Amino acid sequence: MAEELKFPDGFLWGSATASYQVEGGIENNDWAQAAREGKVPAAGRACDQYNRYRDDFDIAKSLGQNAHRFSIEWARIEPEEGSFDEAAIEHYRGVLGALRERGLEPFVTLWHFTLPVWFARIGGFENKKAPFYFARYCEYVVKGLGDSARFWMTINEPMIYASQGYFRGIWPPFSRNILKFKRVVDNLITSHNIAYKKIKGMKSDLQIGIAKNNIDFDSTRFNLVGQLVKFFGYFIWKHYFFKKIRSRQDFIGLNYYFHKHFGYKIYEEKSDMGSTIYSPAIHHVLTELKKYRKPVYITENGIADATDAKRAEFIKEHLRWVHRAIHDGVDVRGYFYWSLLDNFEWDKGFKPRFGLVEMNYETMGRNIRPSAYEYARICKTNSIILDSNF
Ligand code: BGC
């Protein structure tokens, strides 16, 4: 028998993007530099969203969404150290205005992985002055745009950033050095904490957080490696950063994608990128956040699925576990699917297709996928309908 699960009134439904992945035309950050050196694919025009954001927000609105997460490109705002570009602020003011006109609550990320070339040259977040530079940049943006958005995230996925760039060495600056990894994580913590203080000092009503990727690690009791990963996964990967910024976040942004388990087999499908699809794990990572006693927004959850065969089910299954987490006392207030459109997927280039909207990168055409309409039904009714007993 079909059962309807309602989400709390005022729940935010949206999708997320990030500047370098969709805007196009950004040449002065570390990723563009690495692309010129042949180390990563080039983003080039990406989705040309810099010029087409109004059309994209029309699509988001037509799909029943009432919120939208995007990021600001630091390299556009501060192309050279200490010199700030008012025209770039003006551009993002236009972006925020376009969201508001369409009834989409903006969630603004101040930094989503890419560094201005000048900052990368002086060591990026390895530099001990990094928190000063970062907080100064945040302050400038919030001074210009703080009246146009209530929800701000300083940093996207600090642990992913540090591990890809300083542990696995596959993203700029392509380092494999555990000491640098640790230094970068600690500098990111300080950067957030100082930026938080500055922003709150200017506008105390703004809601400030980070977007943090928590992978769910699980293991059978007798699998030694699994137990170690689970232990360090919990204390270091999942909670170290949150603990260190505990008193300096007004909400928690959770990015959840996948689960890693050791020593037992569970039925699970995979995305086009080979990551596991196991929806109950989102309930697990959400309930672990209860101890922080903050509102939680799921700032990313999504799947690379070029044929769109799995996306609708993926969203619905994850949402039913989100609903269960709310029922179990986690104060979840919003959900942002990653991503509104197919986009530049970092070292993987344009191949993975995460979008509710399919991109034709030759024509820049946008084509709404069937799963987007399924998600739209959820957004419009603020509920999911289950076909079987849960
Ligand atoms: C990142 C996005 C990325 C997505 C899909 C997240 O880790 O924030 O930038 O595109 O995952 O891999």
- 8-state DSSP, 204: T
pLDDT at position 267: 74
Nearest to 323 by CA among 283, 281, 277, 378: 283
A 10 A CB-CB count for 257 gives 23
C-alpha pair distances (Å), 180 with each of 41, 229, 238, 332: 25, 21, 19, 34
Which tokens in the block code for residue 298?
A: 């799921």
Average pLDDT score, the chain: 97
- 8-state DSSP, 235: I
What is the Cα–Cα distance from 173 to 189, expressed in whole angstroms?
A: 19
Average pLDDT in the 82-92 region?
98
The pLDDT tens digits for 113-150 are 999 999 999 999 999 999 999 999 999 999 999 999 99
The pLDDT tens digits for 344-358 are 999 999 999 999 999
Q: Which residues line ligand 1 (CB under 6 A)?
A: 18, 21, 156-157, 160, 213, 255, 300, 338, 345, 354
The DSSP bridge pattern shows strands 276-277 and 269-270 to be antiparallel
Q: Which residues are catalytic?
A: 157
Q: Which domains does the chain have, with CATH numbers?
A: 3-386 (3.20.20.80)
The pLDDT tens digits for 164-180 are 999 999 999 999 999 99
Nearest to 193 by CA among 237, 142, 132: 132
Question: 178-202 and 130-145 helices cross at what angle (nearest 10)?
Answer: 30
For residue 160, the ligand 1 atom closest to its alpha carbon is 7
For residue 346, the ligand 1 atom closest to its alpha carbon is 10
Average pLDDT in the 264-289 region?
92
The pLDDT tens digits for 89-118 are 999 999 999 999 999 999 999 999 999 999
DSSP 305-348: -TT-SSHHHHHHHHHHHHHHHHHTT--EEEEEEE-SB----GGG
Please give the distance, rounded to the nearest whole angstrom, from the Cα atom of residue 158 to the centre of ligand 1. Answer: 12
Question: 86-101 and 49-62 helices cross at what angle (nearest 10)?
Answer: 20
- Of all residues in the chain, the percent with pLDDT exceeding 70 is 99
For residue 257, the ligand 1 atom closest to its alpha carbon is 11
pLDDT at position 48: 99
pLDDT at position 265: 78
User: Angle at the Cα of 355 (from 42 to 379), degrees rounded to 5?
Assistant: 150
- Kind plus residue range of the DSSP H or E element containing 367: strand 365-368
Task: Produce one character per residue of 214-235: b if its CB has 16 or more CB atoms within 10 Å, e if not.
Answer: bbbbbbeeeeeebbebbeebee
The pLDDT tens digits for 147-160 are 999 999 999 999 99
What is the Cα–Cα distance from 101 to 15, expressed in whole angstroms?
A: 17
Average pLDDT in the 189-198 region?
98
The model's confidence at residue 284, banded by pLDDT at 50, 70 and 90, is: very high
Please give the distance, rounded to the nearest whole angstrom, from the Cα atom of residue 354 to the centre of ligand 1. Answer: 9
- Torsions phi, psi of 277, nearest 5? -115, 110
The C-alpha R_g of the chain, in whole angstroms, comes to 20
pLDDT at position 388: 64
Length of the chain: 390
What is the Cα–Cα distance from 157 to 160, expressed in whole angstroms?
A: 5
Predicted TM-score (pTM) of the model is 0.98
Nearest residue (CA) to ligand 1, atom 5 = 345
CB 245 within 8 A of CB 189: yes
CB 70 within 8 A of CB 341: no
Please give the distance, rounded to the nearest whole angstrom, from the Cα atom of residue 20 to the centre of ligand 1. Answer: 12
The pLDDT tens digits for 26-55 are 999 999 999 999 999 999 999 999 999 999
The model's confidence at residue 1, banded by pLDDT at 50, 70 and 90, is: confident
pLDDT at position 390: 47
Q: Which residues contact 155 (CB under 8 A, 6 or more apart)?
A: 109, 110, 111, 161, 188, 191, 192, 210, 211
What is the Cα–Cα distance from 240 to 189, expressed in whole angstroms?
A: 10
Query: Pocket of ligand 1, candidates 338, 345, 350, 359: which has the most ligand atoms within 8 Å of its Cβ, to mutate?
Result: 338
Average pLDDT in the 350-378 region?
98
